[in-house]
Amino acid sequence: MQLQRVRDTAPELNLRRELHRRGLRYRLDRQVVPGTRRRVDITFAAAKVAVLVDGCFWHGCPLHGVQVPKANQQFWVDKIATNQARDADTDVRLAEDGWLVIRVWEHEDPVVAAERITVEVRGRRPA
């Protein structure tokens, strides 16, 4: 397991493939969070939609994130709580800068997630 946000994970690649299939074009791994060097996985600049694909373990998915290792349990609980606090702060900073934030769990069906994102991007595209 890695401590940093992992790039190009299978769930993210699957989602990107679905978005591409729907004719959406996007930028990857951009630093767009005001006041930070945090990166956003997928951005749609014109529509100002920011998509983050969250790993179930690292971001504390309610379905799969609770199974922290028995060894050093408190460390993991604290670590995930820190990540969740950072995620919430990221969401606020992006929203204040006019972005619509969409978070996708790695366990989500990429087709369903892509549909959700497509609706938002098409709806927010400038006329």
The contact set with Zn ion (CB under 5 A) reads 56, 61, 63-64, 105, 107
Q: Which is nearer to Zn ion, 27 or 107 (CB)?
A: 107
Q: Which is nearer to Zn ion, 11 or 24 (CB)?
A: 11
Q: Which is nearer to Zn ion, 3 or 63 (CB)?
A: 63
For 119, phi then psi, to 5°, come to -60, -45
Q: Which is nearer to Zn ion, 104 or 121 (CB)?
A: 104
Task: Report in angstroms how near the CB of residue 65 gets to Zn ion at its nearest.
Answer: 6
Task: Report in angstroms how near the CB of residue 111 gets to Zn ion at its nearest.
Answer: 17
Task: Report in angstroms how near the CB of residue 114 gets to Zn ion at its nearest.
Answer: 17
Length of the chain: 127
Task: Report in angstroms how near the CB of residue 119 gets to Zn ion at its nearest.
Answer: 22
